[in-house]
Structure 1
């Protein structure tokens, strides 16, 4: 099979996954409010430990080649409505948020309605048995953003599809790379970026900024034009901002 066919297969696989999630989104929204509330409360209660653990960078703070914000967000899209999403790749509630809203977010990005700033955090490093999975996954996702906006979105989708359980060791770096290579079609430069821990320091700085300067008390946290919104009402709030624009 040629390279172009493999890339087509990967794109089709990512699109199929997005469509499957969109089909299930309506059902998830019914139970989303209760589940997300409980999860955020739990994370908020343990946040002080996470701030202490992740506030000091252990790696150089390298600026991504991708478009990023001053508050350590990976910028996707260029629409007038500003959306900020603070996520952790080991957070089950973030996974549910992604599965519920990914297709809608993609639609808003595609039609130029929104700019979405993804802030990959590492609050839940403590729940990966010492492997710092949240930090490693976040840094790998930022590497994907260097390749392109769509690659970042597809890699985020794939990471959540294969999300490890809390209090496990998480995925290894080799498994993080396999997901990007086999499911998203990311290449050797991206693999080197992951292997070199290129953005571990940047993620750590972003974690400290979110929890100290941005007032983030748990994940997922969503902001629309700078204002925190209830996760269960996220789509309605974004659409209202678009309509008001």
Structure 2
């Protein structure tokens, strides 16, 4: 395109622009223009604000310390047996198996509703609890993996004699499903805040000491028909939390389920 042609084109564009402005001024109410501009600005502000709020909400756990929880004191031991943590009197007349995921909102609700009752019965010597950490929601955090990281860290905390406090702390300050969980460094710091000082704990959290075993166990559990429940609409499978006593799944919707299981037990 030559210089003369460019100049002629520029003039045509300028003339068209002037005509458009004149038309707008002659046919549009200035107040309406002001309203439209104000509305556009308001919408822009809402969009920007929404983006900022969403990002903050998505990453609200970042840089936060996990508050420590104080469980009911018990004279009975807690110990890790493979991928299961056993707490309570080995001679307790009642034993329950609890399958739960640290990211599962219903598991948190279960803990809030029955955690203290369970701990009290453990302290009284009438109940033994076998806790199975299952990374069912490993892909439900952003980035994925918190469910597995938390389960691995809890097993390592059990080796340090701090399982119950670690477990309760994670549920008391549970991250929101679908958003950022706690990082490995945050899990390590929680351990330190609870008195875990060993390098083995920190190294085990960082390198995912039990990750492969937990992943394999999750697959085994999900395919175990004895742990499957009916979720309605013809859907049946494994879900968390699941409580088992004497080989049968417990319906904990009955608020007296624990008292019924331990009825007649002596402290």
**Fold match (TM-score > 0.5):** yes
Is 1:241 equivalent to 2:261 in the alignment? yes
- Structure with the greater alpha carbon radius of gyration: 2
- Residue 69 (structure 2) aligned to one of 14, 18, 22: 14
What displacement does 1:97 show?
0.9
The question of whether the paired residues in 2 share the 8 Å contact of 1:81 and 1:114 is answered with: yes
What displacement does 1:206 show?
2.2
Superposed, 1:37-48 pairs within 5 Å as: none
Deviations 1:87-124 (A, max 9, x none): 00001111111111111111111111111111101111
The question of whether the paired residues in 1 share the 8 Å contact of 2:69 and 2:166 is answered with: no
- Residue 85 (structure 1) aligned to one of 90, 94, 98: 98
Is 1:165 equivalent to 2:176 in the alignment? yes
The question of whether the paired residues in 2 share the 8 Å contact of 1:85 and 1:117 is answered with: yes
Is 1:74 equivalent to 2:85 in the alignment? yes
Inter-partner Cα distance in structure 1 for 2:263 and 2:174 = 34
The question of whether the paired residues in 1 share the 8 Å contact of 2:153 and 2:204 is answered with: yes
Inter-partner Cα distance in structure 2 for 1:88 and 1:114 = 21
Is 1:227 equivalent to 2:238 in the alignment? no
Instruction: Specify whether residues 162 and 14 from structure 1 end up closer, same or farther in structure 2 by C-alpha distance, changes over 3 A only.
Output: closer
Q: TM-score scaled to structure 2, two decimals?
A: 0.62
What displacement does 1:135 show?
0.5
Structure 2 counterpart SS, 1:118: strand
Is 1:152 equivalent to 2:170 in the alignment? no
Instruction: Specify whether residues 155 and 96 from structure 1 end up closer, same or farther in structure 2 by C-alpha distance, changes over 3 A only.
Output: same
The question of whether the paired residues in 1 share the 8 Å contact of 2:72 and 2:120 is answered with: no
Q: Name the structure with the higher helix share.
A: 1
The question of whether the paired residues in 2 share the 8 Å contact of 1:113 and 1:242 is answered with: yes
Deviations 1:64-107 (A, max 9, x none): x94326xx422111222110111000011111111111111111
Instruction: Specify whether residues 225 and 238 from structure 1 end up closer, same or farther in structure 2 by C-alpha distance, changes over 3 A only.
Output: farther
What displacement does 1:208 show?
1.7
What displacement does 1:18 show?
6.4
The question of whether the paired residues in 1 share the 8 Å contact of 2:87 and 2:128 is answered with: yes
Structure 2 counterpart SS, 1:123: coil
Inter-partner Cα distance in structure 1 for 2:173 and 2:69 = 13
Q: TM-score scaled to structure 1, two decimals?
A: 0.67
1:187 is aligned to 197
Q: Which runs of 5+ in 1 are unaligned?
A: 1-12, 20-64
Inter-partner Cα distance in structure 2 for 1:113 and 1:143 = 26
Inter-partner Cα distance in structure 2 for 1:127 and 1:67 = 26
Instruction: Specify whether residues 242 and 18 from structure 1 end up closer, same or farther in structure 2 by C-alpha distance, changes over 3 A only.
Output: closer
